[in-house]
Amino acid sequence: MSVIGAVTLTKDRYYVHPNALVESTEIGPGTMIWAFAHVMRGAQIGANCKIGDHAFIESGAVLGNHVTVKNGVAVWDRVTVEDNVFLGPNCVLTNDLNPRTYIQKGGDSLTPTLIRANATIGANVTVVCGVTIGRYAFIGAGAVVIRSVPDFALVVGNPARQIGWMCICAEKLPLPASAPADTQVSCPHCHVRFTVTDEGLSVLEETLTSKGA
Amino acid sequence: MSVIGAVTLTKDRYYVHPNALVESTEIGPGTMIWAFAHVMRGAQIGANCKIGDHAFIESGAVLGNHVTVKNGVAVWDRVTVEDNVFLGPNCVLTNDLNPRTYIQKGGDSLTPTLIRANATIGANVTVVCGVTIGRYAFIGAGAVVIRSVPDFALVVGNPARQIGWMCICAEKLPLPASAPADTQVSCPHCHVRFTVTDEGLSVLEETLTSKGA
Amino acid sequence: MSVIGAVTLTKDRYYVHPNALVESTEIGPGTMIWAFAHVMRGAQIGANCKIGDHAFIESGAVLGNHVTVKNGVAVWDRVTVEDNVFLGPNCVLTNDLNPRTYIQKGGDSLTPTLIRANATIGANVTVVCGVTIGRYAFIGAGAVVIRSVPDFALVVGNPARQIGWMCICAEKLPLPASAPADTQVSCPHCHVRFTVTDEGLSVLEETLTSKGA
């Protein structure tokens, strides 16, 4: 047992609120799990994550390090969330493309979802399973994502469509969504430079100065 | 008391998680109620239902048999859910068409909703009260339903509009949403045959082979 | 301790369900806080509010009197909710316009939201922070609000757009959303009269008869 401020940690140095229910032992140090959250046995959670009130992490879900899971979010079996992802309040993930109560599914009959590092999933977003959300992609609040999202893409609406690009520094880039491959752009705020690729934007490393990258 | 696997059942043979709060006694055998769910006194739940974490079933709500209520769903007074319905995670039902805090409503001043047997309500769907969701209807994730939905209809968007038809077997049928009455179609996957009626699709029983029907 | 019906009140005459978690002491008389709700230290809640199951009221949130917070709603730091507001089930508020997990924000770097008196936020609505929801505004179920909403405006959709005006009595007014300033209208139901102003509708006081005003 150790104490940081008013918070008492487990021997593995993560924090479980007295009103939370944690059945997994695969939780990294520095992670905090808040009231009425439920982490099931076998769920994997990295270090320094924040699991908000009323969140649910199912057996088979995998979260990297520094992931923020805001209140009311459920992360299901077959959902993989890489490092530094933000899952906004009440955003909804899924693992069954076409559920019917009378058709039992489990294991490999479920459909995986991959949320790549540093992506932001906005408040109350719905992510239909089977997609990959690219690195640093930004899904605007209330969007309904039904197809994969490129790296750094900014998408909004129902169904979600791309309306631009979002920088590492969380400012919108001066680049149209339809910019052709090899177009280059520099962020007016943090001065990171990017080029358009087949997978979205790619950072031109030599100019990289942002601490967030 | 009886035990199935690691699960201890009540004398009426349903399961209540130790962290759930169940005040109703009208619950059928085989039903399972999970952590942080709350079932109020007088709520009616049939047999073999699954009530997920953080769900709320209000007094006056009626659920049939084999209903799946995923996490975070509230089923209110005056909502009737027939057998084999799937209520996706964080889908939202309602019972007041035009709420104002200073206008008290209850009992018959609330507006009913009927979700007919075998329907699927997708993740994060919103259902505005006063509608009937037809048998085997499929409401796509994130849709906002503001009018009744025919049997077997597939609807998506905000507001929800019909884009096709969904088979018993959960595959989309090769039939346009606007198909006129008496049009017939056969499912390429399960070979069930349907005809278009005023209420949506109707199964032509003589060809029925699906186990799901 | 005092008892109203079957309900036991605190010495400050508000009610806390045994399964709720309440850490604030700034709660007005007559307020009721239901199961699995969590009110953090420093959250301010007025008199006669209803805080539903699985709701979360964060330190720094401010709620007036007679506010209804339905199930699953989180009210964050920097969100101000005036008297008589209705927050529908699973509606989602926010306080960070462009979240990235690796960019820490707090205090003044958060973006405030103001929900003015008597407004209705429908079920599963998303409110992007930085906006003001006007007095008596009515946000239809499932809407995604990305800009401020005038007094008495009725808005729906993703993104939310104004489609009309909603009376104090919760009936739609016979007035187009685009009505020019100084247009007058009378509610066919409750006979309150309004005029169009730069901030939405304004009640012509001399004709006011509604008890709701």
Give the pLDDT confidence score for residue C8 in this predicted structure: 74
Give the pLDDT confidence score for residue C79 in this predicted structure: 98
Q: Is residue A181 part of a domain?
A: no
Q: Is residue B207 part of a domain?
A: no
Give the pLDDT confidence score for residue A48 in this predicted structure: 98
Give the pLDDT confidence score for residue C205 in this predicted structure: 67
User: Which of B19, B90, B120 minimises the CB distance to A99?
Assistant: B120
Least confident of A72-81, A93-102, A192-201, B204-213: B204-213
Q: Is residue B93 part of a domain?
A: yes
Give the mean model confidence (pLDDT) for residues B12-31.
Answer: 96
Give the pLDDT confidence score for residue C187 in this predicted structure: 97
Q: Is residue C136 part of a domain?
A: yes
B72 has a pLDDT exceeding 90: yes
Q: Is C155 on the interface with B (CB under 8 A)?
A: no
Give the pLDDT confidence score for residue C27 in this predicted structure: 98
Q: Which residue has the higher pLDDT, C5 or C39?
A: C39
Give the pLDDT confidence score for residue B207 in this predicted structure: 55
Give the pLDDT confidence score for residue B6 in this predicted structure: 57
Query: ipTM strictly over 0.90?
Result: yes
- Cα maximum dimension of chain A: 55
Give the pLDDT confidence score for residue B9 in this predicted structure: 81
How far, in Å, are A151, A170, C85, C205 from residue A197 at the CA level? 9, 20, 48, 61
pLDDT in tens, A25-84: 999 999 999 999 999 999 999 999 999 999 999 999 999 999 999 999 999 999 999 999
Q: How far apart are CA C134 and CA C119, in angstroms?
A: 7
pLDDT in tens, A155-184: 999 999 999 999 999 999 999 999 999 999
Residues 6+ apart with CB under 8 A from B6: none
**Nearest 5°: CA angle at B33, between B27 and B38?**
90
Q: Which chains touch A (3 or more CB pairs under 8 A)?
A: B, C
Q: Which residue has the higher pLDDT, B156 or A7?
A: B156
Q: How far apart are CA A67 and CA A133, in angstroms?
A: 15
Give the pLDDT confidence score for residue C124 in this predicted structure: 98
The full DSSP string for C7-65 is: EEEPTTS-EE-TT-EE----B-TT-EE-TT-EE-TT-EE-TT-EE-TT-EE-TT-EE-S
Percentage with pLDDT > 70 across chain A: 92
Question: Which amino acid is located at C178 in the chain?
Answer: S
C170 has a pLDDT exceeding 60: yes
Residue of B nearest to C154 (CA): B98
Total number of domains in chain C = 1
Q: Is C90 on the interface with B (CB under 8 A)?
A: yes
User: Which of A53, A68, A142 minimises the CB distance to C158?
Assistant: A142
Mapped onto helix, strand or coil, the DSSP state of residue B9 is strand
Q: Is residue B139 part of a domain?
A: yes
Query: Which of C147, C99, C211, C161 is CA-nearest to residue B104?
Result: C211
Tokens of C170: 């919760």
User: Which of C84, C157, C166 minimises the CB distance to B102?
Assistant: C84
How far, in Å, are A114, C94, C100, C103 from residue A168 at the CA level? 19, 21, 8, 10
Give the pLDDT confidence score for residue A10 in this predicted structure: 80
Distance from CA of A90 to the nearest CA of C (A): 7
pLDDT in tens, C85-107: 999 999 999 999 999 999 999 99
pLDDT in tens, A144-155: 999 999 999 999
How far, in Å, are A18, A44, B7 from residue A25 at the CA level? 16, 8, 21
C206 has a pLDDT exceeding 60: no
Tokens of A157: 């609406």
Show the domain range for B133: 15-99+106-173
Q: Mean pLDDT of all residues in chain C?
A: 94
Model confidence at A212, pLDDT cuts 50, 70, 90, reads very low
Interface test with C, best of A32, A36, A87 (most C CBs within 10 A): A36
Give the pLDDT confidence score for residue A205 in this predicted structure: 67
Tokens of B146: 């503001």
Give the mean model confidence (pLDDT) for residues B46-74.
Answer: 98
**Cis peptide leading into A174, omega within 30 of 0?**
no
Model confidence at C12, pLDDT cuts 50, 70, 90, reads confident
Give the CATH number for residue B120.
Answer: 2.160.10.10
Least confident of A187-196, C7-16, C91-100, C188-197: C7-16
Query: Which of B111, B166, B164 is CA-nearest to residue B135?
Result: B166
Residues of B in contact with C35 (CB under 8 A): 21, 38
The full DSSP string for B124-183 is: T-EE-SS-EEPTT-EE-TT-EE-S-B-BTEEEETTTTEEEEEB-TTS-B-SS-TTPPTT-
Q: How far apart are CA B210 and CA B170, in angstroms?
A: 11
Give the pLDDT confidence score for residue B10 in this predicted structure: 80
Find where tokens 């429908």 sit.
C122
CB-based burial label for C24 (10 Å; 0-12, 13-18, 19+): middle
Q: Is residue B211 part of a domain?
A: no
Find where tokens 């169009």 sit.
C196
C209 has a pLDDT exceeding 90: no
pLDDT in tens, B87-96: 999 999 999 9
Question: Which amino acid is located at C55 in the chain?
Answer: A
Residues 6+ apart with CB under 8 A from C81: C61, C62, C63, C64, C67, C75, C87, C115
C3 has a pLDDT exceeding 80: no
Give the pLDDT confidence score for residue C6 in this predicted structure: 57
Q: Is residue C201 part of a domain?
A: no
Q: Is residue B129 part of a domain?
A: yes
Model confidence at A9, pLDDT cuts 50, 70, 90, reads confident
C213 has a pLDDT exceeding 50: no
Q: Mean pLDDT of all residues in chain B?
A: 94
A210 has a pLDDT exceeding 70: no
A196 has a pLDDT exceeding 80: yes
User: Which of A35, A70, A170 minimises the CB distance to C38?
Assistant: A35
Q: Is B34 on the interface with C (CB under 8 A)?
A: no
**Nearest 5°: CA angle at C94, between A160 and B76?**
80
